[in-house]
Structure 1
Amino acid sequence: MNENIMINNILPLTGAVNFRDMGGIQTADGRTIKKGLLFRAAALTDLTADDIVQISALNLKRIFDYRRFEEANRQPDPILESVINERISVMDEENVINNIFVNNQFDQQYYRKFTRAHFLKIYTEMPINNPSYKRLMNFLKKPKENLPLVHHCTGGRDRTGVGAMIIQMTLGVPFETIMEDYLFSNHALENYHNKIFHKTAAFFNETEHKEFRESFLLQEDYLLASKQAIEQKYGNFDYYLEKEFQITEQVRNEIQEVVLA
């Protein structure tokens, strides 16, 4: 996948990071995801007036929020004219980003749990029997009614990364391309990550902090854990689509007819 596509897909917003168009990416059969239909993003709380003008031009129909109640309550999504806001949490547990800038009560023991093993565990759990992704895919089943849509979490990387993977696999994007797009969040969030690393430095010695930084950055193994969890439970992605989301081959073809060019 051409990195220029990913760079060009980033909306130049002041108050939100990692807000990108999911279009322009090729599928295995040579078609391309249409631009202007599917977007992914980090938190939208701090959108400026100019940002809102840009986003209003997208003619979004839905903002779909993966965050927990406490997370979303602290940093609520903006209410935009003619846009339906909906939130269904991907996971119940508190995560490191939720508290990184708003709470100083957590010590090294709290941050120590965000290890490679922890991320592998949550990525393995996220795609299976998840009401949030079931709602997302209900929207995708009726693209003419529900798109354009933006789906997002706090950083637009983990929960949004798995949601994007499910959408992209449904559309027939090769997994290698999906992985490139997923890892691109490390680039798009570089400054964001550095703020987190600066904040957490006080809780670790140098060796421990290096391990934390390495674990916290997105890794191929994390998204691969989601894909493998799907395959281990369902055998293949087609069966997963049918059983988890009631997306048959016919429905999948109908989605692709609208979303691909």
Structure 2
Amino acid sequence: MNPHPKRLVKLEGTDNFRDLGGYSTEDGKIVKWGKIFRANRMNTLTDNDFREIENIGLKTVFDFRRTDEVQKAPNRLPAYMDIAFHNHPIISGAYGFQAIRRMIDSGGDEMVDGVALMKAANKYYANRAHPQYTALFQLLLSSEVPLVFHCSAGKDRTGFGAAIILIALGVSKETVIADYLLTNYYRKKHNEKILTEVAENIDPELIRPILEVREEYLEVAFGELIKTFGSFEAYFEKALNLDEKNIEQLRNFYLE
């Protein structure tokens, strides 16, 4: 997928702040631009970035990070804007970065299967993180937008969240996966920098699976979801308390 020029919100302090608008649904509608955004942590936003946040008219920030992650890198957003903050931690979310740190500190003596780790995390999102994703959808139903939801890298907890939002809106699975994989495009420079830095201590290819998103990770989440609930529709209703009327409301709000 060649990303739409409006997809990335160009900010100096973060590299993965993206608009979920512009995608076509399977019934021919379009997701509205400027309503739902996904991002990584925003602790290094600049004053210039504040102007862009103002232009967006951001009303709501939904943070999947754990308390220790938030304390270590608190978001820097315009205090003069009336932005509502909601923190609903997904506890399994940052284990990949902890695994990277352990491998580096051990000089490669402690090995972690990065692919297995990321697949396990995605199974967790599909089976165990229902309260957090329910809370996100409730905010979307209350139309507290423009809204941005995020975690640390904006790829795993956030990636699954973006995927199920787009599925709920009627976007094809193929397009959902393509959006998921855009993180690798936008984070390539950041990831290559890390891989170069760790090369002195360990084989960088050991941590590449943790830095990246891969189609197989999201497929594992979807497979787990279907195995448990039988369909996306059943997942939305049984896990996230979204009935047909709620899905219709979401589509009325966010499609054109």
The alignment's TM-score, normalised by the length of structure 1, stands at 0.89
TM-fit CA distance, 1:55: 0.8
How many angstroms apart in 1 are the aligned matches of 2:28 and 2:177?
Answer: 18
**2:57 is the alignment partner of 1:59:** yes
Q: CA deviation at 1:56?
A: 1.4
Choose the corresponding residue for 1:22, options 7, 20, 23: 20
Q: Give the aligned partner of residue 221 of structure 1.
A: 216
Aligned to 1:90: 90
Contact 2:108 2:202 in 1 (8 A): no
Which one is further off, 27-36 or 188-197?
188-197
User: Cα deviations across residues 190-237 of structure 1 (Å, max 9, x unaligned)?
Assistant: 1111122123323324xxx32432454211100111111110000000
Structure 2: stretches of 5+ with no match in the other structure:
none
- What are the equivalent positions in structure 2 for 1:42-191 lying under 5 Å apart? 42-80=40-78, 81-92=81-92, 94-97=94-97, 106-108=105-107, 112-130=111-129, 131-143=131-143, 146-191=144-189
Q: Deviations over 1:163-191 (max 9, x none)?
A: 10111111011010000011111010011
Residue identity (%): 28
Shift of 1:40: 0.6
Equivalent pair of 1:142/1:255 in contact (CA under 8 Å): no
Residue 39 of structure 1 corresponds to 37
- Between the aligned partners of 1:114 and 1:83, the Cα distance in structure 2 is 39
Query: Aligned partners of 1:39, 1:9: CA distance in 2, in Å?
Result: 9
Residue pair 2:104, 2:198 contacting (<8 A) in 1 also: no
Q: Which moved more, 1:127-136 or 1:251-260?
A: 127-136
List alignment gaps of at least 5 residues for structure 1.
none
**Match in the other structure for 1:241:** 236
Aligned residues: 253
Closer, same or farther: CA 78–114 of 1 in aligned 2, 3 Å: farther
Give, in whole Å, the separation in 1 of the partners of 2:95 and 2:249: 37
Kept in 2, the 8 Å contact 1:40–1:152? The answer is yes
Secondary structure at 1:16 match in 2: coil
Amino acid across the alignment from 2:217: Y
Poorly superposed stretches of 4+, deviation over 6 Å: 98-101
TM-score by length of 2: 0.91
Q: Is the 8 A contact 2:184 2:212 kept in 1?
A: yes
